Structure 1
Amino acid sequence: MAPFKVGGVDRFDPYKSFMFRVLWDGRTVAGLSKMGPLSRKTTVVAHRDGSDPARQRKSPGVTSYDDVTLERGLTLDREFEAWATKVHATGSPMSLKDFRKDVIVDLYNEAQQKVLSYKLNRCWVSEYTALPQLDAATAAVAIETIKLSFETFDRDTAWVTPAEP
């Protein structure tokens, strides 16, 4: 297998998906165990030229960003609930001032060095699950989730890949 080389780093193996941190308000989100994928889609606009009726042409249209879900074991930490409550919570007005946050996602290598960083711009909580399905016949961890809607994501290209130990 040929190595890939970036910034003086020779690597044979791709990065693992279990070494990550998510930050908002400058703090790491406590207890996060799972994050959905970052993905975007661009609508295909099909059109044809009247002088060439047998062929369809395609061009890019509107780009949309899929929502991302964050999951963590349920604890007494109220960060998920506090953010979710800022958007149309029952009995309280919406917090127009601060219902949106920028979220940072950092990926680490096996030596716990940050290797990639993405910024999710203007996120807000579009779904909140306070309690999962409860089942007395299982011994599973109770999982709390939020789904974030956001406008764009950007990779931090200024981040310099560290030399691996």
Structure 2
Amino acid sequence: MADDGSKQSQATWPMVKFSFKLMWDGKEIIFQEVTGLTSETQVIEYRGGSSPVYSVVKMPGIAKFNNITLKKGIFKGDTTLWDNYDLIKMNTIKRSTIVISLLDETGTAAMNWTLTNAFPCKMTVTDMKSDANEVAVETMEVAHEGLHLTK
């Protein structure tokens, strides 16, 4: 008899990546794509001169967080990303908290990634071609100082 999956627990299935939301300072902004959620720890290599072992000792160093990239369709009159980008002033930038949530099948946040001290650092407007049949997409790159996972 074929297994219909009825005895399998809900926790067995992996999350889908197409259902997510992004909150920027408590305000939801709809995006088509979010990429670049990465954290990296630099490795410090050290070897004492009197060490009998001819190899280095590796220790964790400074954490590094890559910029994230946000992509969304351009809608008439929607200037949300440009309004955030216009807040950049020399040495007086408004830093924000951004929460990116992966949603389960009920639309509830299953996992949250929080970016601390985030600010926009690059905007890219869509390319325009007279023979294209595509949605116009704008892209924002965001720099931040921390990536934390909460459940």
Q: What is the TM-score of this pair, normalised by structure 2? A: 0.85
Post-superposition shift, 1:95? 7.9
What are structure 2's unaligned runs of at least 5 residues?
Answer: 1-8
Name the structure 2 match of 1:86: 87
1:104-156 deviation digits (Å, cap 9, x = unpaired):
11111122222111211110011011x22111121011111111100002222
Post-superposition shift, 1:19? 0.5
Counterpart secondary structure, 1:11: helix
> Separation in 2 of the partners of 1:132 and 1:57?
48
Name the structure 2 match of 1:124: 119
Counterpart secondary structure, 2:94: coil
Name the structure 1 match of 2:5: none
Contact 1:86 1:95 in 2 (8 A): no
Count residues in correspondence: 141
Post-superposition shift, 1:22? 0.2
Name the structure 1 match of 2:105: 110
**Over aligned residues, Cα RMSD in angstroms?**
1.7
**Percent of aligned pairs with the same amino acid:** 21
Name the structure 2 match of 1:135: 129
> Separation in 2 of the partners of 1:83 and 1:25?
11
Contact 1:19 1:109 in 2 (8 A): yes
- Counterpart amino acid of 1:111? T
Counterpart secondary structure, 1:105: strand
Point out 4+ residue stretches in structure 1 off by more than 2 angstroms.
none
Contact 1:74 1:143 in 2 (8 A): yes
> Separation in 2 of the partners of 1:95 and 1:16?
39
> Separation in 1 of the partners of 2:150 and 2:59?
28
**Within the alignment, does 1:20 sit opposite 2:20 as a pair?**
yes
What are structure 1's unaligned runs of at least 5 residues?
Answer: 1-8, 89-93, 158-165
Name the structure 2 match of 1:60: 60
Post-superposition shift, 1:37? 3.1
**Within the alignment, does 1:155 sit opposite 2:149 as a pair?**
yes
Q: What is the TM-score of this pair, normalised by structure 1? A: 0.78
Name the structure 1 match of 2:44: 45
Name the structure 1 match of 2:4: none
- Counterpart amino acid of 2:88? V
> Separation in 1 of the partners of 2:73 and 2:86?
19
